[in-house]
Structure 1
Amino acid sequence: MKSVRVVVVGAGVIGFSTAVCIAEALPFCSVTVLAETFSPNTTSDGAAGILFAAEFPDIPLERQKRWFKDSFDHLLAIAVSEQSPDAGVMLSSGWQIFKEIPAKKKPFWSEFVIGFRSMTDRELKRFPDHKFGQAFTTLKCECSSYLPWLEKRFRKAGGKVEQRKVNNLQELSNSFDIIVNCSGLGSKMLVGDTEVYSVRGQVLKVEAPWLQHFIRDGDGKTYIYPGTQSITIGGTRQEGDWRLQVDEGDTKGILERCSRLEPSLSKGKVISTWVGLRPSRKNPRVEREVVQLRSCRVPVVHNYGHGGWGVTLAWGTGLDALGLVRQCLHEMPLQAKL
């Protein structure tokens, strides 16, 4: 009989990564993933899923480095294994280019990706509007394949999955001993976090199989990411915008900007358009607290607010969340564990 009942709220890339970390490392726990939406309808499903990161202002850099490295190592092991096609994880090479020379020519994650270097003048000739660039090989993780693959791995570890909307933590207090909150934007309502806000992203999927390398403008607004089936081009970063409808003006702008970077894109065929709301926060919240729910005090581990870096940091913050769950177990009264 599994003794400690753990619930993970949220079934995006953060939720399932965290759930797998816990279920595989703590076999004496019974772990349930609870969510209103599952793949292919999560925000993660539309993410381009390419690994690099922004720097968060208030989280120690060593911790951010660990998150990135743990995620990169985990996905690299999949990318070079026979699991790669099923999991939707692949190596991807290309360039990040800048109109102005950035203050930091080497971002903190440069030591973990493969072959990071500054671009040569000859390479930059392709991009006459840009003064500086970085060339490297990273990973691309396509969540429409990766999430079902993670769910299968979670179930294999004995995990349970239930689809329903969770309106408040009180609902969970009688059925579970530890709550892990990976509800992304839902944390605004679920735990009353006023620091979470939406950043609207619109992307197009394009058929252009001749394009093999990614190109990303350093401002993060224009990018071309070749994938296994199609190419993801984008995008938008509209803060505080909750619209889920496709905006034709955005579609036109994305096509124009991306075709300026890669003129042959104008010959590509647009297959689909997707809109998602990134669960953003000044800093992701990866921490634990004890919350009074009805008559009992319940440990809650939070792991949300990654913005556009969810796929990049999911496994790293999932391992951090596992460490926090271990601390909760350590502090539990003995009868709860029996």
Structure 2
Amino acid sequence: MAKAKVAVVGAGLIGLSTAVCISESIPSCSVTVIADKFTPNTTSDVAAGMLIPHIFPDTPVHQQKQWFRETFDYLSGICNSSQASEAGIHLVSGWQIFKTIPEKKTPFWSDVVLGFRSMTEKEMKKFPQHKFGQAFTTLKCDCPPYLLWLEKRLKENGGYVHVRKIEDLWELHSDYDIIVNCSGIGSRKLMRDREIHPIRGQVLKVHAPWIKHFIRDGDGLTYIYPGIHDVTLGGTRQKDNWNLSPDPSTSKGIFDRCCALEPSLHTAQDVKARVGLRPSRSSVRLQKEILVRGSEKLPVVNNYGHGSGGFSVHQGTAKEATRLIKECIAVLEMSRCKAKL
């Protein structure tokens, strides 16, 4: 039986992690990642890469927790290996703080991260404008190292990468058996999905090597996330804003808010502004469909719409997408057998 040919459209975090998962779980198929942009020019490269879950309102909480746990366990394995430095995976401890006491003091993911607890009175003195806080240790993926590591792993597994802009998935029909759509915001055009929309994120990347702990305001708009080489300061959530140019007044607002939480940042060096468009919808679209054109059929597995929560669930959704691809391959093999008869 000929190898099933799978094309993954999109080379950001979701595309590459899904391609790697397919190549490791289904060695009987050939995997090619196709995209017009690869690292360091993807939306994923702008993200801080922190594993603190974003809530998808239309996805069951138990499903979100499973995806998060699978991702956390997967990255923990890398973090505890000799691959950690190359992959840009590291543990980071810190605080999530709130100006008003949240209704739920313990989030659904509290038993997945390490050492989750309420902050002490003494710790809260660092943040006099806040009334409540949570302390825990989580994982962080630094980009572009993580994306480069995924790409390398894919190639080691026999996969391919191809720089090409796809305007229509039918362009791939003659060369591939199954398409995996991980095009993020591109799905608005490719799948005519009007639910997906951009939420513009502007961040600052700064050199401040003394910052060792993360600080995140509970509203998610102000955060300080230390990485291996720089610190990410954020942020913004501007719905339906497609502007990819950094706004100086927004940068000043981010810097001032972060300095209010961590005054030592006033002396940070090499401040660079970055902008990314988060591909947002009320739930991740993770399902298979058959596109039909006349007598021709094109099996597609969709895995997109992760918004600001991609890093927290990417391995979990990659595993689910891979399961759907296995189902598509089984149908493909059955039809090939019938054709031979």
How high is the TM-score relative to the length of structure 1?
0.97
Give the 3-state SS of the residue equivalent to 1:30 in structure 2.
strand
Counterpart CA distance in 1 for 2:140 and 2:59 is: 25
Match of 2:224 in 1: 224
Counterpart CA distance in 1 for 2:122 and 2:230 is: 28
Shift of 1:331: 2.3
Q: Do structure 1's residue 249 and structure 2's residue 249 form an aligned pair?
A: yes
Q: Which moved more, 1:17-26 or 1:202-211?
A: 202-211
**Segments of 4+ moved more than 6 angstroms:** none
User: Is the CA contact 1:116–1:136 (under 8 Å) kept in the aligned structure 2?
Assistant: yes
Q: What amino acid maps onto 1:322 in structure 2?
A: T
User: Is the CA contact 2:54–2:308 (under 8 Å) kept in the aligned structure 1?
Assistant: no
Match of 2:181 in 1: 181
User: Is the CA contact 1:289–1:300 (under 8 Å) kept in the aligned structure 2?
Assistant: yes
Counterpart CA distance in 2 for 1:37 and 1:50 is: 22
Shift of 1:90: 0.3
Q: Report Cα offsets for 1:45-96 as digits up to 9, x if no partner.
A: 1110000112222212221111101110111111121111100000000000
Match of 1:127 in 2: 127
Match of 1:24 in 2: 24
Match of 2:290 in 1: 290
Shift of 1:143: 2.1
For 1:317-336, list aligned pairs within 5 A: 317-336=317-336
Q: What amino acid maps onto 1:184 in structure 2?
A: G
Shift of 1:224: 0.3
Match of 1:195 in 2: 195
Give the 3-state SS of the residue equivalent to 2:283 in structure 1.
coil
Counterpart CA distance in 2 for 1:78 and 1:2 is: 33
Q: What amino acid maps onto 1:25 in structure 2?
A: S
User: Is the CA contact 1:173–1:293 (under 8 Å) kept in the aligned structure 2?
Assistant: no
Match of 1:7 in 2: 7
Counterpart CA distance in 1 for 2:18 and 2:293 is: 23
Shift of 1:270: 3.4
Q: Which moved more, 1:269-278 or 1:15-24?
A: 269-278
Q: Report Cα offsets for 1:134-181 as digits up to 9, x if no partner.
A: 100000001210011100100111101110000011111111111100
Counterpart CA distance in 1 for 2:270 and 2:217 is: 21
For 1:30-41, list aligned pairs within 5 A: 30-41=30-41
Query: What is the CA RMSD across the aligned residues, in angstroms?
Result: 1.3
Q: Which moved more, 1:201-210 or 1:188-197?
A: 201-210
Counterpart CA distance in 1 for 2:260 and 2:294 is: 58
Match of 2:150 in 1: 150
Q: Which moved more, 1:306-315 or 1:292-301?
A: 292-301
Match of 2:92 in 1: 92
Q: What amino acid maps onto 1:198 in structure 2?
A: P
Q: What amino acid maps onto 2:82 in structure 1?
A: E
Counterpart CA distance in 1 for 2:72 and 2:234 is: 23
Give the 3-state SS of the residue equivalent to 2:180 in structure 1.
strand
Q: What amino acid maps onto 2:91 in structure 1?
A: L
Match of 1:205 in 2: 205
User: Is the CA contact 2:101–2:131 (under 8 Å) kept in the aligned structure 1?
Assistant: yes
Give the 3-state SS of the residue equivalent to 1:278 in structure 2.
strand
Match of 1:42 in 2: 42
How high is the TM-score relative to the length of structure 2?
0.96
Match of 1:136 in 2: 136
Counterpart CA distance in 2 for 1:135 and 1:39 is: 32
Match of 1:111 in 2: 111
Counterpart CA distance in 2 for 1:298 and 1:4 is: 13
Shift of 1:2: 4.9
Q: Report Cα offsets for 1:240-284 as digits up to 9, x if no partner.
A: 100000100101000110000001111111331111111111111
